[in-house]
Structure 1
Amino acid sequence: MNTQCIAFVTDENFFLPTFVAAILAKKHCSRNTDVVITFTEASAGVPIARDLCAREDIVFKDTSAFFTEQLSVLDKSKFAGRISIAAMGRLLLPSVLPESYEQIIYLDGDVQVVGPLDYLENYRVPEGKFLAALDYVPVLSVLNGASHEDYFNSGVIKFNRNGWIGRKAFDFFIENGGAYHDQGALNAVKGDAWIPISNKWNFPRQFMHLVDEEAPAIIHYMSHPKPWDGVFFPWSRREHDVYRDYLRTYPQLRRFRKSISLARRALYRFRSWDMRRRNELRHCSARLASVLY
Structure 2
Amino acid sequence: MSTSSNSMHIAIAFDENYLTPVYVLLASLFENNQGESITVHAIATGISSIQQNELKQYVLNYTSTICFYSLGDDFANDFAIPATLWWTPAVYYRIMFPALLPDYVDKFVYLDTDIVVVGKLRKLYNTVVNDHPIAAVCDFVDSRPDLGINEPNSYFNSGVLLVNKDKWIQKDITGKCIEFIKNNPEKLIYVDQDALNAVLVNDWQKLDSRFNSMFKENSSNISMKQLRSALKDIVIVHFTTQHKPWSVLGENRLRYLYFKYFEKIPKKYRVRYNDFLWNRHRIRKFLEIRLGEVLAEYPTLNGLWRKK
- Shorter-chain TM range is 0.7 to 0.9
| Shift of residue 196, structure 1, vs aligned partner | 1.0
Match for 2:192 among 182, 205, 210?
182
| Shift of residue 186, structure 1, vs aligned partner | 0.8
| Shift of residue 73, structure 1, vs aligned partner | 4.3
- 2:233 is aligned to 215
- 1:283 is aligned to none
| Shift of residue 50, structure 1, vs aligned partner | 2.9
- CA–CA separation in structure 1 for the residues paired with 2:102 and 2:89: 23
Residue deviations 1:216-246 (CA, integer Å, cap 9, x gap): 2111100122223469554257324324412
From the two aligned structures, give the one with the greater helix fraction.
1
45-54 vs 81-90, greater mean Cα deviation:
45-54
SS of corresponding position for 1:246: coil
- CA–CA separation in structure 1 for the residues paired with 2:255 and 2:182: 41
Distance change (3 Å), C-alpha of 1:204 and 1:84: same
- CA–CA separation in structure 2 for the residues paired with 1:237 and 1:172: 35
Amino acid in structure 1 at the alignment position of 2:136: A
Residue deviations 1:28-81 (CA, integer Å, cap 9, x gap): 3475652414133143233333333333334323323x2535334435x54653
Residue deviations 1:244-289 (CA, integer Å, cap 9, x gap): 4124xx12324x776213355654554566688799xxxxxxxxxx
1:27 aligns with 2:31: yes
- CA–CA separation in structure 1 for the residues paired with 2:165 and 2:30: 21
Q: Tell whether the 8 Å contact from 1:8 to 1:38 is kept in structure 2 after alignment.
A: yes
1:191 aligns with 2:201: yes
Q: Tell whether the 8 Å contact from 2:41 to 2:69 is kept in structure 1 after alignment.
A: no
Distance change (3 Å), C-alpha of 1:128 and 1:234: closer
- 1:170 is aligned to 178
| Shift of residue 108, structure 1, vs aligned partner | 0.8
Identity of aligned residues (%): 23
Alignment of 1:59-208 (within 5 A): 59-64=65-70, 66-75=71-80, 78=82, 81-138=85-142, 148-164=152-168, 165-177=173-185, 178-208=188-218
- 2:246 is aligned to 228
Distance change (3 Å), C-alpha of 1:230 and 1:123: same
- CA–CA separation in structure 2 for the residues paired with 1:30 and 1:223: 30
Number of equivalenced pairs: 267
Q: Tell whether the 8 Å contact from 2:135 to 2:161 is kept in structure 1 after alignment.
A: yes
- Unaligned 5+ residue runs, structure 2? 144-150, 298-308
Amino acid in structure 2 at the alignment position of 1:242: K
Structure label with greater radius of gyration: 2
**C-alpha RMSD of matched pairs (Å):** 3.2
Distance change (3 Å), C-alpha of 1:4 and 1:60: closer
Q: Tell whether the 8 Å contact from 1:230 to 1:240 is kept in structure 2 after alignment.
A: no
Amino acid in structure 2 at the alignment position of 1:192: N
- Unaligned 5+ residue runs, structure 1? 140-146, 280-293
